[in-house]
Amino acid sequence: MPVDPNIEPHAHDPQDGEQPAEDARIREAQELEARMRRALATKEDPLRDDESTSERLRRLDAEASSDAADGGPSPS
């Protein structure tokens, strides 16, 4: 049980690895959240020099679509 009374115990946790929702609106929000999390800078994967988060998001989307077109790994 959460200690913080403001935390919803059944809230979506992106780290829990659950399957995407069946509701298309919720699934779309989950996919957007996953894309945004991949675009955020981390200690292990910092932003390139002179790169913003939105530029990184566009670059990652372009790389994912080129991988898909080349028959490479699909985005997770």
Domain ranges, ordered by start, for the chain: 24-38+51-69
Residue 52 tokens read as 């913003």
Q: Which of 4-13, 18-27, 48-57 has the lowest mean pLDDT?
A: 4-13
Q: pTM for this one?
A: 0.53
Rounded CA gap, 39 and 66, in Å?
17
User: Nearest-CA neighbor of 36 among 16, 56, 11?
Assistant: 56
Both tokens assigned to 40? 């955020």
At residue 1, does pLDDT exceed 60? Answer: no
Give pLDDT, residue 17: 63
Q: What per-residue confidence (pLDDT) applies to 33?
A: 87
Q: Identify the band that residue 3 occupies on the pLDDT scale cut at 50, 70 and 90.
A: low
